[in-house]
Structure 1
Amino acid sequence: MDKSPASTHVERAESPKKADQRHEPHIVGNLKLLDGNDTILVPTPSPDPKDPLNLPPWRKWAILILVSAYGCAAVVLASGLGPIFPNIVASYPGQEARANDLMTFPTLFMGLGNLISMPLAIAIGRRPVFLISIVIMIAGGVWCAASKSLGSHIAGRDLMSLAAGQSEALAPMIVQEVHFLHERGRKLAWFVFIQNVSSCVFFITSTYMTTAWGWRWWYGFFSIFSALILVLSYVFLSETEFDRPADASTGEVHLDFNDNGELEQGGGTHKLIRVTTSVGTVLEPDRYGPRTWRRDLNLINIKPRWHVILPHYLHILQGLCVPTMAWLLLLNGAWLGIYVFSASTFANVLIPPPYGFAFNSLGYVQASQIVCCLVFLPLSGHGSDWVIKNLSKRNNGVFKPEYRLVGLIVPGIVGVVAAVIYGQAAQNPAQWHWSGVVIPYAAIYFAFLGVNLVGITYAVESFPQRAASLLVVICAGRGIISFGLSYSTLPSIKAIGYDGALNIQAGIGGGLIAFAVVVWYAGPRLRAMAAKWFNMEEVSE
């Protein structure tokens, strides 16, 4: 693909400097976001109509809703057994301990799925990997529905979870690729909001579905639902990968023009191209060709680049060596582990006396997560974008990725307190009201959502040229970490009780959030060091 410059109709700042003098020293991730009252569009959009940043708003919303719907199906199938788990365990008498693998193994395989899918998404594009993932998830759901033994059921869920893992890294990557930096916080929050509100609705209805149809048709229903998403995605979810010049990720494309106003490689008059919200981009279909439905419906729209797969795995290893990314991995893994712990145990706590919840009432416990999403969207989504704009304004219009860390304050406090209360109520039900389990369970979920949003945005905005590999570091790594934590759920409860286990996990999660203070001050220097060590600015994914 052409590395397309921004339209010549947008703002330009001329400079007499030569090409080798034009770049002032800077720290990767820091960039000019505000120009007076105008917001600079980052990345710089191209005048090519095929640039996903130039999609009309309705197409962007269609893509966001479709990846959210896919995320909903993935979350319910891979992580939504909590309300119906007692019903499923009853089908395997004498194998109750092994049946716990139905809950814990999916987090591991979702993480492994990211290690497989993201390199392919870089090599052949986001669209084919997304569509193939839905096909595999449907196949896994059908396998589970038709399974004849617990071992077969576990294997089917493992296959299904490999595909469901794309809801963690590939789906948010698609969302961020069709939106600009100043709107990513709220758009990713809408992704989380739609995905999880719809998931909660299905959590509520799951108990009624299994009571009426049996748990096998529960899998059947979501396989059919996924098939509908597949058809709509084939039509409306176009390729979001687009080849841009490296400096487009800073919102400032540097070009050289000759005396006739034509682009020139080196020399001539140097011009800085910026596109702002007040001016926008003028499309040039005569030069680049129009966007057509025929092109959008192709399964693959880019020339396969198989040679990038091995370097991508190297980039993942390098990402693990970046202190800030390693911290984000541990942070996300710890809070996913706390959430999986509570999701795996709330049914076992609420059904027996003294709470005595009816099986069909367990779905309503999940409904509390809808309230969390209603709070999360304005607070962590729109609030995050509001914070970075205001902090950038105070910093002479310059944005720093560390501004996103402000979004950890509320989820961190809420999550730690909720985890401790959940442990106490689960361990001493005679001394606590059932709300001591239900409300903290929802609050822990809110904390995980907040940590997840901050992790994704901070990683992508710190090193935009390595976005894909860093998303794998966070999403695949946290799945493996949370698997280890959640797999020890039953042994830890037997050894130290609910309160002891969650006190330890809350201490770890809270300590990792508190470390954000160190990252706030040391982050810019660590980013500069990582860019120097691993050439983080030069490699485009």
Structure 2
Amino acid sequence: MSKINTTHFEHSYTGTDPENLKGHDLGAHAGTVQLFDGEEVILIPSPSKDPKDPLNYPSWKKWAIVILVSAYSSTAVILSSGMGAFYTKVVADYPGQEKKANDLLTYPTLFMGLGNVISMPLALTIGRRPVFLGSIFLMTAAGLGCIFSRSLDVHIAFRDIMSLAAGQSEAISPMIISEIHFLHERSRRLSWFIFIQNVSVGVFFIATQFLVDAHGWRWWYGLFTIINGVVAILSVVFAAETMWDRHDTDGSSPGTVQDGAEPPVTLSNFSAHRASLGPIPWHTGLGLMVKNPKWKKIPIFYTQVMQGFCIWPIMWVFLVNGIFLGLYVFQAATFATVLTEPPFSLAFVSLAYVQGAQIIPCIVFLPLLGYGADYLVRAMSRRRGSVYNPEYRLIPFVVPVVVFVVCAVVYGQAAALTVSDATSSSSTSWGWPSIAVSYNGAFFAFLGANVVGIAYAVDAFPSRTGPHLVLICAGRGLVSFGLSYATLPAVQALGYAGIMNVYAILGGVVSLFGVAVYFFGRRAREWAYRTFKIDEPRE
């Protein structure tokens, strides 16, 4: 292996092109790093020699964390967004309150966003583990409240509390996954997280449709409350802490190496590095919270969130995520009504297969946007002199954009045939698969926007992962809530075709700005690193 230049990179901007920088000098250069040294993959971030470092956790422990986080996120997704398939059954229990019952579908996205705003600074202060455990236990308790609620107001209140607890599945969950894996494998691991999460969601959507039909919607809450209780107990034993302040490792900024330091750990010698640490006890990282929590990080965190609004590539990621989520939430809230009305007139239990078909986008999603994205990143880095730029993550986003626009238009045209759309005069023949395929296609598009956007944000600003994930996840919840809250009035005013055309145009136009992010994102990152001193060691 060739020797890597380990000259310390100062925090001041030099104006040097990343391609002309060597080795870990790039690590502090606005998110641009050297991913290869010859044929060797450099592990970024570099694992420390402390066995408590989450990057040094054995594979079984990392997979245990991934599975538990995925299980929590699965129930969070189902409980917050899975009611649409049997919404008609729920409304039937609240006669005369149909308009207010719509809050059961729309408010969860708002409260999930608020949950991120509240919990993420705590996760950065006291650790990911206590916040994760608190969230899963709170979601379990709120589920019990929904089961035993005796009025619509109480049901809405407990459902909102449950959504507060479920919100962490959007920001903390991907952050936990990212913290225990290296840059070259993040898309794969995030995709496995999303794959496990959504395949589970698809299977449960099918099963719970029959459950609700046979035993009522309260048992829907009951099933997932039991699952949450089991996951909570297992998480106490296996969900280790992933918080690790790498600034304290050697006093330098992330991605820098002091003069005379040892060369970085590579993929080929990582096994030897981990073996040198000796056996790592299974209970490592299972403390209640980190030692000496730094409470002063909380106001700093919110300041960094506000600074994120000034970084236009991050704002673009948040807007795209919000619009794509808004389309999915709209379709999730309406597809059951559309398919059970003439001319489609599907049986209630048939909706289970429409919802469960979300497994298919996951099967496509994992190889295409997971392994495919990591392969593309490595290939692009090799072509550019082993230099990795976070903007490479944006190339696969083309696929979700095309799917989004097509599915929005098709759903609108097909749904316009229903009797609930008073504005339609269309006589075009669309079959029920038009609704089913476009609904699941919108789900695929959101998954793509989610994983591409998060991977880009994490890689572009690694020391601002928490604040930027909150901005993206909470922000998209607010955007989605705003777009979907007026679902019924929008359908009455514009019709399904009209509102879906608005989504298609809005999503397509905003997505086009991704071209600007790809070509000018590096300059924006350099400006942000200089202006907000992002590379300076944190207190």
- Give the secondary-structure state (helix, strand or coil) at the position aligned to 2:379: helix
Matched, 1:511 2:513: no
Match of 2:264 among 259, 262, 274: 274
Taking a change above 3 Å as real, the CA distance of residues 31 and 74 of structure 1, as seen in their structure-2 partners, is same
Deviation, structure 1 residue 291? 4.0
1:38-437 paired onto structure 2 within 5 Å: 38-245=40-247, 252-256=255-259, 270-271=260-261, 273-280=263-270, 282-283=272-273, 291-429=280-418, 431-437=429-435
In 1, distance between residues paired with 2:245 and 2:6? Answer: 26
Contact 2:211-2:220 at 8 Å conserved across structures? yes
Query: Shift of the alpha carbon at 1:27?
Result: 3.2
Distance 1:92-1:539 versus aligned 2 partners, 3 A rule: farther
Within the candidate set 508, 525, 537, 2:535 is matched to 537
Whole-angstrom distance in 2 between the partners of 1:517 and 1:255: 37
Give the C-alpha shift of residue 478 in structure 1.
Answer: 0.3
AA matched with 1:203: F
Cα deviation, 1:513-533, whole Å, max 9, x if unaligned, reads 111111111100000001111
Specify the alignment match of 2:16 in structure 1. Answer: none
Change (3 A) 1:223 1:68: same
Matched AA of 2:258: L
1:110-155 deviation line (CA, Å, top 9, x unaligned): 0000001100000100000000000110111111111111011000
Taking the aligned partners of 1:167 and 1:244, their CA distance within structure 2 comes to: 24
Aligned to 2:15: none
Query: CA 1:488–1:19 in structure 2 vs 1: closer, same or farther (change >3 Å)?
Result: closer
Q: Does the CA contact (< 8 Å) of 1:11 and 1:275 recur in 2?
A: no
Q: Distance in 2 between matches of 1:322 and 1:200?
A: 36
Displacement of 1:14 in angstroms is: 6.2
Paired letter, 1:446: F
* Structure 2 contact 33–387 (Cα < 8 Å) conserved: yes
C-alpha distance in structure 1 between counterparts of 2:453 and 2:248, whole Å: 23
Contact 1:12–1:272, Cα closer than 8 Å, also in 2: no
Query: Hey, what's the Cα distance between the residues in 2 that align with 1:231 and 1:358?
Result: 38
User: Distance between the aligned counterparts of 2:161 and 2:56, measured in 1?
Assistant: 36
Structure 1 residue 17: Cα displacement: 8.4
- Structure 2 distance, partners of 1:524, 1:215, is 50
- Paired with 1:300 and 1:366, the residues of 2 have a C-alpha distance of 39
Q: String of CA shifts for 1:307-366, please: whole Å, max 9, x gaps.
A: 101110000000111111111111100100000011000001000111111111111111
How many equivalent residue pairs? Answer: 518
What CA distance in whole angstroms lies between the structure 1 residues aligned with 2:241 and 2:269?
Answer: 26
1:57 shift after superposition: 1.1
Q: Which amino acid aligns with 2:333?
A: S
The offset of 1:428, in angstroms, is: 2.2
Amino acid at match of 2:172: L
Equivalent position amino acid for 1:332 in 2 = N
Measured after TM superposition, the shift of residue 293 of structure 1 is 4.0
> 1:5 maps to what in 2?
none
Q: Secondary structure at the match of 2:358?
A: helix
Q: Sort the Cα spacing of 1:539 and 1:104 in 2 relative to 1 into closer, same or farther, 3 A.
A: farther
Distance 1:80 1:505 in 2: 21
What secondary structure sits across from 2:257 in the alignment?
strand
- Give the C-alpha shift of residue 290 in structure 1: 6.5
Q: Supply the distance in 1 between the matched residues of 2:435 and 2:163 (Cα, whole angstroms).
A: 28
Q: Please, which moves more after superposition, 416-425 or 429-438?
A: 429-438
2:456 alignment counterpart: 458
Residues 11 and 274 in structure 1, CA contact (< 8 A), matched pair in contact too: no
Return the alpha-carbon distance in structure 2 between the equivalents of residues 225 and 473 of structure 1.
Answer: 30
Q: Secondary structure at the match of 1:515?
A: helix
Instruction: After TM superposition, give the deviation of residue 20 of structure 1 in Å.
Output: 9.8
- 8 Å contact 2:2–2:37 — kept in the other structure? no
Equivalent residue for 1:484?
Answer: 482
Q: Give, in angstroms, the shift of residue 37 of structure 1.
A: 1.1
In structure 2, stretches of 5+ residues that fail to align are: 13-21, 419-426
1:266 alignment partner in structure 2: none
Query: Which SS does the other structure have where 1:92 is aligned?
Result: coil
Structure 1 unaligned spans of 5+: 1-9, 257-269
Q: Which residue of structure 1 aligns with residue 444 of structure 2?
A: 446
Moved more, 50-59 or 386-395: 50-59
Contact 2:25 2:256 survives alignment (8 Å): no
SS of 2:270's equivalent in the other structure is coil
Question: Which stretch of structure 1 is more off in the superposition, 245-254 or 501-510?
Answer: 245-254
TM-superposed CA distance for 1:301, in Å, is 3.3
Q: 1:19 to 1:91 in 2, by over 3 A?
A: closer
Deviation for aligned residue 1:11: 8.5
- Of residues 516-525 and 203-212 in structure 1, the stretch that sits farther from structure 2 once superposed is 203-212
For 2:538 and 2:108, locate their aligned partners in 1 and report how far apart those are by CA, in whole Å. 31
Deviation at 1:32, TM superposition (A): 0.1
- 1:255 maps to amino acid: Q
Distance change (3 Å), C-alpha of 1:283 and 1:271? closer
Deviations 1:488-527 (A, max 9, x none): 1111100010010010111111111111111111100000
Which residue number in structure 1 is paired with residue 469 of structure 2?
471
Give the % identical residues. Answer: 50
Q: After TM superposition, give the deviation of residue 302 of structure 1 in Å.
A: 3.2
* Cα contact 1:246–1:538 (8 A) shared by 2: no
Residues 38/285 of structure 1: CA separation in 2 closer, same or farther (3 Å cut):
closer
AA partner of residue 362 (structure 2): C
Q: For 1:226 and 1:399, how far apart are their aligned partners in 2?
A: 39
User: Take 2:399 and 2:285, find their aligned partners in 1: how far apart are those partners?
Assistant: 41
8 Å Cα contact 2:32-2:389 kept in structure 1:
yes
TM-score by length of 1: 0.91
Distance 2:2 2:280 in 1: 25
Cα separation, partners in 2 of 1:19 and 1:528, compared to 1, 3 Å: closer
Cα deviation for residue 59 of structure 1 reads 1.1
TM norm structure 2: 0.92
SS in 1 for 2:431: coil
